[in-house]
Amino acid sequence: MTSAVGAAQKPLPRRIILSRKGLDSKAGGLASPILAGDKLLSLPIPDCGTGICYNDLKSSVLPHGTIGKMLNDLSGDPHFSEREVHLDPDLQEHVIERKYPFRAAFGQCGSEQSHLDNAKYGAVSDIDNTDLFLFFGYFRSVDYDKANNRQRYEGERLHVIHSWMQVGNVHRIYSYPNGWSSHPHGAPSFLVRTDQQRRKPQNRNNTIYTPRERLTFNPGIPGHGVFSSLHPVLQITDPDGRYRTEWRLPAFFYEKLSHLGKAEWRQDGSHCYVTQRGYGQEFIFNSFGHPETHAQVRDWLAGFPFCALAERPAGRATTVARRVGAGKG
């Protein structure tokens, strides 16, 4: 795990964006799995026209070919694994067989890209290459049901941060081909093409973000990566809440996170609480707009397990609180 020592005076991200990505109840109808040993495996949403299926995905924590079987079990659909995927953010070279040199990237378009462009914090041309995306998604623990020879969900439903990218460059995609044919926002995929075709040319905003080489606030860490295991700082869902959309965040976020409408906030000591409603994807905190929060932001980021956590025996209890109501949310 990284330390605040040596990083305390490094530049903070200008904006921190909690960015919802991966399987969800509305995008695929499933949760990404928390595997034995609290290993996180964020899985992409379904799409068409990408040429990549769930069966093609690889993981460092599962034997090749088992992701598809697991998803068939969890969905109850023996053909779920044959569905094409929207591999975005694409942050790990090994997850598929690559036809082209790997470039880490994240794409966005439509109303959510407009929100990133215009939500009081400047347009895409004004991004100063320090914005930090913290990608989060819907997760549930998965266990093997020996009696029925299948994988099944168990326990609580959680929103968990699973990966990160600090922006290095921003590419607006105006034409095809464009050098990004291996990315769903460059191909483009069905979801991206459908969104952009329904917009007037001047309003098309398909965008690809690529990372910095190193984090500005901790240069010993790459500018993008994934969190391999569940960890307390990664859990957004309130441990004492009933639903996964009841969030507990550091107090500096209080009433400063975009895209939450007229949500009611509550503050209690070092944390604040809010219920996320609707299906927004990009929730923006303007760090530079609130300099009084900088020390707290530094402390929070210093607690992130940007380096891989030490391996733990499968099944060992995690320190993350496990009191979110199972079967809800």
Mean of the pLDDT values across residues 38-67?
A: 92
pLDDT tens digits for range 260-280: 878 899 999 999 999 998 878
Residue 219 and residue 197: Cα distance in Å, rounded? 40
pLDDT at 262: 80
Strands 85-86 and 282-286, how do they pair?
unpaired
Say yes or no to pLDDT of 167 above 50.
yes
Say yes or no to pLDDT of 98 above 70.
yes
Mean of the pLDDT values across residues 48-59?
A: 95
pLDDT at 119: 60
DSSP 92-155: -GGGS--SS----BEEE-HHHHHHHHHSSS--GGG--S--EEEEEEEEEEEEEETTTTEEEEEE
Average pLDDT, the chain: 87
Mean of the pLDDT values across residues 211-219?
A: 94
pTM exceeds 0.95, yes or no = no
Mean of the pLDDT values across residues 229-241?
A: 96
Mean pLDDT lowest among 64-73, 200-209, 304-313? 304-313
Say yes or no to pLDDT of 174 above 60.
yes
